[in-house]
Amino acid sequence: MQPSLVVLAAGMGSRFGGLKQITPVGPHGEIILDYSICDARLAGFRKIVFVIKEEIEDQFRELMEACRPDDMEYAYVCQRHDDLPGYVCPPDRRKPWGTGHAVYAARDAVDGAFGVIGADDFFGRRTFFKLYEFLSAPHLPEEMCMVGFRLANTLTENGSVSRGVCTVENGFLHSVTERTKIAREGGAVFCNEGGRRLPLEENAVVSMNVWGFHKQMFCEMERDLREFLSGMKDPSAEEYFLPSFVDRMIRAGKASVRVLRTPSKWRGVTYQEDREAMERSIRRLHARRVYGALR
């Protein structure tokens, strides 16, 4: 059974100021996701599961089906606020439940091994080949993977970002710490931790939420999600993050995560100002014939 690829596309991009998942960045009207699908297909993936918001389902389906390759299968799953194990969603909850919950929403749409990526990031072709190669090999259900990026290759010049900063030991992920407001200042990189500025190593391995799992992982995720929901202090705002779930699995001895390092430079549209730089980069790739027309 071939691995599937789960694409998290339910975020609305509040910092960007619009629905960045479907904002054209390519010379033929391509969106960022078109490049990820092209690279995933070349790597071997043949089924894509999109996790989206119900409000954009029709628009998103129309956009993606318009350029779906004949040999690709697409599935669409809505991340619903009330899709919670043993918990009733508060009536005032408007915010999505987070990346971990988005993956949980795809539990009935995947079979066997699957990868996870975000819809609004450009990861580079090698990312998908590394991910598919790992997922295609035989592994125990508790054996996972993460594609790790160099921190300096994941920053934007137009503001701060959040990243899962990783500790790696002998090629395996030891821990993931979510760091916020990461930015370059005066030639160095800092993050904000409780109001304090802390320095970060440029070569630190960070998670861009590119993961590989087995379907049986959902059993542990449901248990973990139940514990998260029961322990919340602010049900209107707290989120269930995927890196935090993985970190808890590692600490409990229930998972081993192979880190697949990539030298690729992340490209993304976190802010409106990032779009011009993204478009320039994409045009260069088309000029080098790395990509043809995808729409």
Over residues 241-260, mean pLDDT: 93
Number of domain units in the chain: 1
In a domain, 168, yes or no: no
Task: Band the pLDDT of 20: cuts 50, 70, 90.
Answer: low
- Lowest-pLDDT range of 37-46, 69-78, 143-152, 231-240: 231-240
pLDDT of 230: 94
Q: What is the mean pLDDT of residues 265-270?
A: 82
The string of pLDDT tens digits covering residues 217-234 is 999 999 999 999 999 999
Report the interhelical angle of 125-136 vs 32-43 (nearest 10°).
40
- 294 belongs to a structural domain: no
pLDDT at residue 13, rounded to an integer: 46
In this structure, the strands spanning 256-262 and 205-214 are: unpaired
Domain that holds residue 236: 4-141+206-243+264-287
- Cα(175)–Cα(134) distance, rounded to whole angstroms? 20
**pLDDT at residue number 14:** 44
Q: Name residues whose C-beta falls within 8 Å of residue 185's C-beta, 6 or more positions apart in sequence.
A: none
Whether pTM exceeds 0.85: yes
Question: CATH number for the domain including 87?
Answer: 3.90.550.10
Instruction: Tell me, yes or no, whether 226 lies in a domain.
Output: yes
